[in-house]
Amino acid sequence: MPVVNWLKRRLVVIAGLLTLAYLLLPNVVVTVFSFNKPKGRFNYEWQQFSTDAWKDPCGVADMCGSLSISLQIAVWATVGATLLGTMISFALVRYRFRARGAVNSLIFLPMAMPEVVMAASLLTLFLNMGAQLGFWTILIAHIMFCLSFVVTAVKARVMSMDPRLEEAARDLYAGPVQTFLRVTLPIAAPGIAAGALLSFALSFDDFIITNFNAGSTVTFPMFVWGSAQRGTPVQINVIGTAMFLIAVLFVLTSMVITNRRNKQKA
């Protein structure tokens, strides 16, 4: 039975590719339906081909406004979480201090907590303080949950770094600031970049915590959530497709650049 044997040897590959298809199927649907011309308010059934939505991506009221709010929050949350998280990582790897265990669990717990619990408890805090829900409360929440992920990413990189490199710099009469800027930071940079990228993605796509703490501010995920009740414009799919393409292009170009650099070094 050559066919059975052939299948048997490739069972893992076939199963893996089927899972990959399951993961990518929704993205295919999102892309195809960005060219749809739906009859009713909802864009769930295929009617006919049209490029209307691509020609007028901001044609839906409030959608591009929500997109810009999401981008602003994501940028500031990334800046805040990356800065605070990197500082914590350096303290954790490079120094001895009291209460290390408490600090570690304070960083681990937000990642082990269902989002809805963090969202609800943060809302009780804001309500008790009488804080005005909106842009700032969303930003505070996003920095909070992105922090732990930055610490994890940066810590891994700083830990694998040879401390003798810094000692060598010191021996060569580099001051502490110079050592940090010329040696430590460049080596830690990939970890910091990974943490920042993760923060941006997490913040931009966050729904549950935002849903609780947004007040009347509408981020892009909040807009999509609302449209699931009111009617889904095709433009949502246009944005979804564009985001997917930009992300893939971004990763591909960065891969090509690193490949070239490695070849030049070799």
Partner 1 sequence: MSTLTEAPPPLAPAEPEQKPVRKRGRFTPYWLLLPGILWLVVFFALPMIYQASTSVQQGSLEDGYKITWHFATYWDALAEYWPQFLRSVFYAAAATLLCLVLGYPLAYLIAFRAGRWKNLIMILVIAPFFTSFLIRTLAWKTILSDSGPVVHTLNSLHVLDLTNWLGWTAGDRVLATPLAVVCGLTYNFLPFMILPLYTSLERIDGRLHEAAGDLYAKPWTTFRKVTFPLSMPGVVSGTLLTFIPAAGDYVNAELLGSTDTRMIGNVIQTQFLRILDYPTAAALSFILMAAILAMVTLYIRRSGTEDLV
* Residues 94-153 interacting with partner 1 (rule: CB under 8 A): 94-97, 103-104, 106-110, 112-118, 120-125, 127-128, 140-141, 143-144, 147, 151-152
Which residues from 169-228 bind partner 1, rule CB under 8 A?
201, 204-205, 207-208, 211-212, 220-221, 224-225, 228
Instruction: Count Cβ atoms below 10 Å from residue 93 Cβ, excluding itself.
Output: 17
Phi, psi of 173, deg, nearest 5: 65, 30
Distance CA(133)–CA(119), nearest Å, equals 13
Question: What gap in Å lies between CA 6 and CA 125, rounded to an integer?
Answer: 61
Residue from 16, 65, 175, 190 in contact with partner 1 (CB under 8 A):
16
| CB 52 to partner 1: min, Å | 18
Count residues binding partner 1 (CB under 8 A).
Answer: 91
* Least distance from partner 1 to the Cβ atom of residue 255, Å: 6
Cα–Cα distance measured from residue 229 to residue 175, given in angstroms and rounded to the nearest whole number:
60
Cβ 151 to partner 1, closest distance in Å? 8
How far is 200 from 79, CA to CA, in rounded Å? 9
Q: Of these, 64, 161, 174, 194, which contacts partner 1 (CB under 8 A)?
A: 161
Q: Which stretch binds partner 1 (CB under 8 A): 55-63, 178-186, 188-196, 234-242?
A: 234-242
Out of 2, 3, 4, 22, point to the residue binding partner 1 (CB under 8 A): 22
Handedness of CA 210, 212, 217, 222 (dihedral sign): positive
Residue 246 backbone dihedrals phi, psi, to 5 degrees? -60, -45
Residues 46-65 that bind partner 1 (CB under 8 A): none
Tokens 């990356």 belong to which residue? 82
| Of the candidate residues 41, 52, 72, 87, the single one contacting partner 1 (CB under 8 A) | 87
* 90 forms part of the interface with partner 1 (CB under 8 A): yes
186 three-state secondary structure: helix
Nearer to partner 1, 53 or 107 (CB): 107
User: CA nearest 184: which of 205, 204, 163?
Assistant: 163
Among 17-25, 50-58, 177-185, 188-196, the segment contacting partner 1 (CB under 8 A): 17-25
CB of 211 to partner 1, least distance (A): 7
Contact 209, 153 (CB under 8 A): no
